[in-house]
Structure 1
Amino acid sequence: MIPELVCCKKGFLGRKVMTFSFPCCDTCVDVVFTPLGRVIVRD
């Protein structure tokens, strides 16, 4: 299962937010990259 990239945008405080979609289960996930290199995944 390979997720599809839906969008990529700038977030708050220099963060980058990428939204991925998993078509097999109709789920979207936001992946947030902070300027310090931290990765946060949210539903």
Structure 2
Amino acid sequence: MPLLLSVVVLVLSLFQKASFYYFLYYHRRIMVKGSHQLDRVQ
């Protein structure tokens, strides 16, 4: 049972880290897209 609990904690921590990096990547893509649109307007 403790082994299963440690595996669950490991998977949850990995999923949290992956979602955090995905959020950073997605946010940076939106920022780049917005800056490109601003450059096109000027």
Structure 2 length normalisation: TM-score? 0.18
Q: Which has the higher strand share?
A: 1
Q: Which of structures 1 and 2 has the larger relative contact order (alpha carbons within 8 angstroms, sep 6+)? A: 1
More helix by share: 2
